[in-house]
Amino acid sequence: MTNRFSNFTDFAEHYAELVAAPDYASAFAEQTEIAKMSVADEPTSAEMPDPEAAQAAIELMLATVFDLFRDTRMEDFSAEVAWGIANSFHVVSKRLDDREDSVASKLKDKLREYDPSEVYATDVEDLTIQARSLAEARDAMECMRDHAAKIYLVETGRPFSPVRGSRVSSKSNASMIEAHDYLAGEAARRREKFAPQGPVVTFSGGQDYADIALVNDYLDSIRERIPNMVLATTAQNKGADVIAATWASRHEVPLVLCKVNSAHGRSGPFRRNERMLALKPVEAMVCGGGGIQANFADTMRKAGVPIHVLRQQASPTEEHDTSGANAEPHRRTANGADLPPF
């Protein structure tokens, strides 16, 4: 549905709602009185950046890029520059996450070598402070990246997706008990971040597929029945997969990108389709395409996964039915009836 505005005030309020910032105050909270980012650094009592100033900086950076190029011959490049800004925060947050993992691993090894000496207690304390300090910095970077990604989505209509690594978000002293608690908390955080909880709906579509309204209608319908769904796509960079990823971003539905392993050569897409079954999907969607999408549909159908097959000319108001009975010709159900040409 297209929004219409009678004045700039209403439009500004609507835009502000779309790009609403994540919880900066929580992401920039200080968990300890001192911080230490590496073994070579001295402990510091310096504060975290001001969360309101950080939020304003992200908004200013992205707004400046889009305003600079808007209505000029270089307008098409604004999205690339804005993507680079969001990706820079992603790259740094991933490096911080990797450094935290390394420190946490050292801490775990240290805890296995317990001795009652003061040197040992100091080492454990030092590693614990490092891990917590890196976690704080990572949370702040991820918060700014997520905010930049949200503005990018509103301005371009496409979700921000980094070239490498998952785009995930999070929030996580002197004693061994607290160190153990920290490690347990980090393990739980990672299970939740990298294996989102909820029924999985798998999705694949052709790169030329452009029926945005139909895809959104079907995904809306599935989400009504499965509110806590997780969407897993075949992660192509244009066409139906981008439409689905954009829908997921706008509705804050967890998105799993199932990319092709290039080491498998031509068989990579088909092996990827098989691997998607390991996600134990409860439903699947496929939109047009060619042999890869036909194989995706066959793979899901043979595993007994109810599947919707959409064609661009299909009516978005047709009744949803994954039982196999009375299947409309624009989709294949679990029993394989009425598969349209891809």
For 149-177, the DSSP string reads HHHHHHHHSS----SSS---------SHH
Average pLDDT on 284-305 reads 91
pLDDT at position 248: 87
- The per-residue pLDDT for range 183-204, each reduced to its tens digit, is 676 666 666 666 667 889 999 9
| pLDDT above 60 (res 7) | no
**How many CB atoms lie under 10 A from the CB of residue 213?**
10
Cα distance between residue 153 and residue 149, in whole Å = 6
CATH number belonging to the domain at 200-310, selected among 1.10.1040.10, 3.40.30.10, 3.40.50.2000, 3.40.50.2300: 3.40.50.2000
**For residue 27, which phi and psi values (nearest 5 degrees)?**
-65, -30
Mean pLDDT of the chain: 79
| pLDDT above 90 (res 179) | no
Query: Locate tokens 């392993």: which residue?
Result: 261
pLDDT at position 148: 92
- In terms of C-beta distances under 8 Å and separation of at least 24 residues, what long-range contacts does 73-80 make, across chains too? 78/155, 79/152, 79/155, 79/156, 79/158
pLDDT at position 56: 93
pLDDT at position 39: 84
- The pLDDT confidence band at residue 314, using thresholds 50, 70 and 90, is very low
| pLDDT above 70 (res 168) | no
Better pLDDT: 236 or 193: 236
What's the pTM value of the predicted model, to 2 decimals?
0.64
- The per-residue pLDDT for range 264-291, each reduced to its tens digit, is 888 889 999 998 888 889 999 999 888 8
- The domain limits of the chain are 8-194, 200-310
Beta bridge partners of 230: 200
Q: If residue 216 lies in a helix (H) or strand (E), which one and from where to where? A: helix 212-225
- The per-residue pLDDT for range 28-45, each reduced to its tens digit, is 988 778 898 888 888 899
Pairing state between β 230-233 and 283-287: unpaired
